[in-house]
Chain A
């Protein structure tokens, strides 16, 4: 698959990425935790294969496992839930 540069919005900040990256990879590159536990601990992707559920984020208003979603132009990613 051809790789393309895309712009997307991560927590209200515009970032560039590639369509060959998952959103989880983007979070790791940017050093942004994917979620926060009920006791307030930051969490990041662990398994990168859709099992551990630690990489859940909002993508365009839907809660998804970010390791299963590739970056797309205009995507809005939020990590506040």
Chain B
């Protein structure tokens, strides 16, 4: 008999959320993390909990995940810094306003609120926006959290439900077996790899790779910004697979500073800052928010999203007894809870709350011809 019902590899927000959901379903769970909880992609991103409505599969998953976060929010400790910022999708011209109109119908189909604003309404709500803004779409239900603390909180709740957490590096996974660096082995009915872009180190040919992004944190700005402000072209750019792209994504922090993204590049695991990319990001930002030309950037860093070629996460059984929940690209914070719920439904052979077929682990495996 196995020592554990489930061993989860990876203590980022996807792994800790999975540990919580599986423990609540009655599984005896061990979570393995090699360094610290939430120290990888979880810590490197913006912590935006958003509905991504442009692709039907991600729209379902993000909307479902958002509803789960809203259920968790009343019991969330203050240090998770939940803020109901909403999102403003900014349009520069009438073509982009047409995109805003069609996106607003997608929100409506999902039962989520969204409102079209004219340029002057947008400037009234967000005075930092410049004259070039033609208007856009306001999605009030989106929120922001402090990711590493949220990750730790999910882990704490999992432990209260009976899960155990151990800090150790995994060297291999196999059916019913997990091997640690140093030689120790442990048995489990199910093994779940939640190691983000590092997952292919454990599962050969898994098509997840690191997609680098740059983030800039500014000094405090004098005009208050209330919402996360993203350009309307963002979803198209972020789901596309071209070599590199830059899209406006600005988040107000509680300190009055702005967190500015975003870029997407395939550069392996190189953390080096590409100043040309940062300069493109800043020019784009100033185009939308001219007064930021006079604000200092305090720090610039890079992080790595776990990226899958078709832009969708991998959630499900990869081979007998070996499961994957990884590849959430830039939506891992949002989708951690929804994907944990789907994973748990699949493992307990219940029908998931939303269809999980689009995220099937078999669809991308080299040599298989599914989908």
CB of A53 within 8 A of CB of B298, answer yes
What residues on A are CB-neighbors of B255 within 8 Å? Answer: 37-38
A5 CB–B CB distance under 8 Å? no
Question: Residue on B with the closest CB to A64?
Answer: B296
Residues of A within 8 A of B219 (CB): 56, 63
Please tell me if B123 contacts chain A, counting CB pairs below 8 Å.
no
- Is A38 in contact with B296, judged by CB distance below 8 angstroms? no
In the assembly, what is the distance between CA of A37 and CA of B220, in Å?
10
Q: Mark B152-169, 1 if CB is under 8 A from A, else 0.
A: 000000000000000000
Complex-state Cα separation, A38 to B222, whole angstroms: 12
Asked if B1 is an interface residue, CB under 8 A from chain A, the answer is no
Assess whether B78 is interfacial by the CB under 8 Å rule: no
Interface contact B296-A63, CB-CB below 8 Å: yes
Name the B residues within 8 Å of A63 (CB-CB).
219, 295-296
Count of chain B residues with Cβ under 8 Å from any Cβ of A? 10
Q: Which of B255, B295, B296 has the most CB of A within 10 A?
A: B296
Interface residue total, chain A, C-beta cutoff 8 A: 6
CB-CB under 8 A from B220, the residues of chain A are 38, 81
CB closest chain-B residue, reference A39: B255
Within 8 A of B (CB), among A41-81: 53, 56, 63, 81
Tell me, rounded to whole Å, the shortest Cβ–Cβ distance linking B282 to chain A. Answer: 15
A-side contacts of B222, CB under 8 Å: 81
Interface string of B245-267 (1 = CB under 8 A from A): 00000000011100000000000
Q: How far is the CA of A38 from the CA of B257 in the complex (A)?
A: 10
User: By the criterion CB–CB under 8 Å, are B298 and A38 in contact?
Assistant: no
Q: Which residues of A contact B298 (CB under 8 A)?
A: 53
- Please give the distance in Å from B225's CB to the nearest CB on chain A: 13
Instruction: List CB contacts (< 8 Å) of B290-336 with chain A.
Output: 295-296, 298-299
- Chain B residues lying within 8 Å of A81, measured Cβ to Cβ, are 220, 222
Residues of chain A contacted by B295 (CB below 8 angstroms): 63
CB distance from B257 to the nearest CB of A (A): 9
A37 contact set on B, CB distance < 8 A? 255
Shortest distance between the CB of B38 and any CB in chain A (Å) = 23
Closest chain A residue to B299 by CB distance?
A: A53
**Pick the contact of B254 from A38, A53, A56 — CB < 8 Å?**
A38
Docked pose: A38 CA to B298 CA in angstroms = 16
Collect the chain B residues with CB atoms within 8 Å of residue A53's CB.
Answer: 298-299
* Complexed CA–CA distance, A63 and B219 (Å): 9
> Closest approach, in angstroms, between the C-beta of B254 and any C-beta of chain A?
7
CB-CB nearest in chain B for A61: B294
Smallest CB separation, B81 vs chain A (Å) = 13
Instruction: State in angstroms the CA–CA spacing of A63 and B254 once bound together.
Output: 20
| Contact residues in B for A38 (Cβ distance below 8 Å) | 220, 254-256
Closest to A51 in B: B299
Q: How far apart are B11's CB and chain A's nearest CB, in angstroms? A: 28
Q: CA of A6 to CA of B254 in the docked complex: distance in angstroms? A: 39
Q: How far is the CA of A52 from the CA of B298 in the complex (A)?
A: 10
Task: Tell me, in angstroms, the Cα distance from A37 to B253 when the chains sit together.
Answer: 13
List B265-300 residues whose CB lies under 8 Å from chain A.
295-296, 298-299
Question: Taking the nearest CB of chain A, how far is it from the CB of B218, in angstroms?
Answer: 10
A24 to chain B, nearest CB (A): 16
Chain A to chain B contacts (Cβ below 8 Å), 14 pairs: A37-B255, A38-B220, A38-B254, A38-B255, A38-B256, A53-B298, A53-B299, A56-B219, A56-B296, A63-B219, A63-B295, A63-B296, A81-B220, A81-B222
Closest 4 CB pairs of A and B: A63-B296, A38-B255, A38-B256, A53-B298
Q: Other CB < 8 Å A-B pairs besides A63-B219, A63-B295, A81-B222, 7 of them?
A: A38-B254, A38-B255, A53-B298, A53-B299, A56-B296, A63-B296, A81-B220
